[in-house]
Amino acid sequence: MLVAFDFGISNTDIGVFRDNQTTFHTISSKRENISTELIKDMLELFSLPISEIKCIGVTGGKSSDLPDKYRQDNFN
């Protein structure tokens, strides 16, 4: 599974590629701080198990506030 986050000012868009299908989710950007905890919360919200994710991409807003790697131990 591949997951992409676009942290916008008013909305956060999430694209998920899983089982040869792409789905999209949009939620309100309620938090000002972009953090790994926010990513964890969003993955849990949409039932996206970290153990199934091969790659996470981020863009937009304050995505540069995130570390370069997120839980590297789960990725091949």
Q: How many domains does the chain have?
A: 1
Higher pLDDT: 56 or 64? It is: 56
pLDDT given at position 44: 94
Rounded alpha-carbon distances, angstroms, from residue 9 to 30, 32, 48: 9, 9, 23
7-63 pLDDT, tens digit per residue, is 888 889 999 999 999 999 999 887 667 888 888 889 999 999 999 999 999 888 777
Kindly report the CATH number assigned to the domain that includes residue 6.
Answer: 3.30.420.40
Global pTM reads: 0.81
Q: Taking residues 57-76, what's their average pLDDT?
A: 71
- End-to-end Cα distance, the chain: 12
Report which residue type is found at 37. E
Residues of the domain holding 35 = 2-74
Would you call 21 exposed, middle or buried from its count of C-beta atoms within 10 A (0-12, 13-18, 19+)? exposed
